[in-house]
Structure formats: structure tokens, C-alpha cells
């Protein structure tokens, strides 16, 4: 691997930047994601930063079942993220549609539209599970780089 790539990978592993996207959720998972930022769980000590724009993000955290009106917008935001990018489906709704599966305005889980790197089930997801997922993702990245 070239030195430049090694540095980029190191910075991604040491400090993944996250963008959060809600594709029609009830906010249960969203507040647990924000909880992960607050002092009790404090995800920022891992270098994880919540960014507002997809162009700066390595990891997209998605919550909520995919509603029809969000599908196009969601794909657009995913396309705006630079490679390599990872998607975490947070919550049962994002994994499979959850309790809303079968509702007429819900397409299903987010993997109907974009590839997902990790599925975190839970309704809602505990902040510990979110941290665990991100750590697992980073470990996988390190393994695949070596």
C-alpha cells in the first residue's frame, strides 16, 4: 500500500466521521444515537465526530424504515459520500422495515436501495450497541487493510 493510502486509512480508522440520516424513523433510534454522544457513553472519545454533510463523512448511520419519499434523496446523499464509505443500518426498522413492514409508504429496510456494511438490530438500539458496531467496523477495516 502506498504511504498516502496508509495515512488515509489510519485517519479513517482512528477518527471515523459520521453522518446521520433519518429515513422516516420514529426518532427512538435517533435519540439513542445522540445519547451516544452525551457524557454517559461519549462516543467522541473514539474520535468519532458527527458531521452535517455527506462529503466529509466516512460512515453513514441510518435509522428508520425507508419511506418512499425518502428513497431518492437517500440515494443521492449516499452517492455524495466519498469512497470508501460504510453504511450502518441502525435499528430493526433500518434493517428490515421493522414494525412498519407492510405499510404502504414504507419500502422496507435500507438495503433495498444501497449496500449496507453492518446491521444493528434493536428497537431502539442501545448506545452500547452502536459503539460496539463502530468498533467492530473499524476492526474489520484494519483486518482488510493488512
Partner 1 sequence: MSELTKEEEILKEIKDKFSDAVENSIIQRKSRIWIDVSENAKLDIMRYLKEKGYYHLSTITGFDEGEKLGAIYHITNHKIIINLRVRTQKENPILKSVLPVYPSATSYERELEDLFGIKIDGLPEGRNYPLPEGFPKGVHPLRKDVKLEELNKMLNEKCIKEE
Partner 2 sequence: MSKMQIPLGPQHPALKEPENFMLVLDGEMILDATVNLGYNHRGVEKAAENRNYIQDIYLIERICGICSHSHVSCYINAVEEIAKVEVPQRAKAIRTIVAELERIHSHLLWLGVAAFELGYDTLFMYTWRDREQVLDCLELLTGNRVHYGINTIGGVRRDITKEQADEILKKIKYLHERTSYYVGVVTEEPTFLARTQNVGKLPKDIALELNAVGPTARASGIEIDVRKDEPYFIYDQLDFKVITYHSEDVFGRAVVRVLEVIESIKIIEQILKNLPEGPISVKVGWKIGPGEAVFRYEAPRGEDIHYVKANGTEYPERVKVRAPTLANFQSLPYCLKNGYLADAVITIAAIDPCMSCTDRAVVYDIKKGKKEIFDWEELRKYSIEFYRKKGVKFS
- Contact footprint for partner 1 (CB under 8 A): 67-69, 71, 102, 104-105, 107
Nearest to 13 by CA among 146, 131, 137: 137
> 107 contacts which partner out of partner 2, partner 1, none, CB within 5 to 8 A by kind?
partner 1
CB atoms within 10 A of CB 53: 11
Binding residue for partner 2, selected from 2, 45, 52, 146, defined by CB under 8 A:
52
**Who contacts 103 (Cβ-Cβ below 8 Å, separation ≥6)?**
65
Task: Using the structure block, give the residue that is written with the C-alpha cell 465526530.
Answer: 49
* Rounded distance between C-alpha atoms, residue 29 and residue 31, angstroms: 5
Binding residue for partner 2, selected from 34, 71, 118, 131, defined by CB under 8 A:
34
Provide the binding-site residues for partner 2, judged by CB under 8 A. Answer: 20-22, 24-35, 37-40, 50, 52-53, 64-65, 67, 69-70, 73, 93, 98-100, 102-106, 123-124, 126
Amino acid at each position: 500500500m502506498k504511504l498516502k493510502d496508509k495515512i488515509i486509512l489510519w485517519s479513517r480508522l482512528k477518527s471515523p466521521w459520521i453522518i446521520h440520516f433519518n429515513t422516516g424513523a420514529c426518532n427512538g433510534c435517533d435519540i439513542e444515537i445522540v445519547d451516544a454522544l452525551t457524557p454517559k457513553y461519549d462516543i467522541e472519545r473514539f474520535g468519532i465526530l458527527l458531521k452535517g454533510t455527506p462529503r466529509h463523512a466516512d460512515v453513514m448511520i441510518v435509522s428508520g424504515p425507508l419511506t418512499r419519499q425518502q428513497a431518492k434523496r437517500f440515494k443521492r446523499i449516499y452517492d455524495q459520500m466519498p469512497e470508501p464509505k460504510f453504511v450502518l443500518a441502525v435499528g430493526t426498522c433500518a434493517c428490515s422495515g421493522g414494525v412498519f413492514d407492510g405499510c404502504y409508504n414504507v419500502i422496507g429496510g435500507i438495503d433495498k436501495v444501497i449496500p449496507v456494511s453492518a446491521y444493528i438490530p434493536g428497537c431502539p438500539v442501545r448506545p452500547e450497541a452502536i459503539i460496539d458496531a463502530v468498533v467492530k467496523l473499524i476492526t474489520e477495516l484494519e483486518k482488510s487493510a493488512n
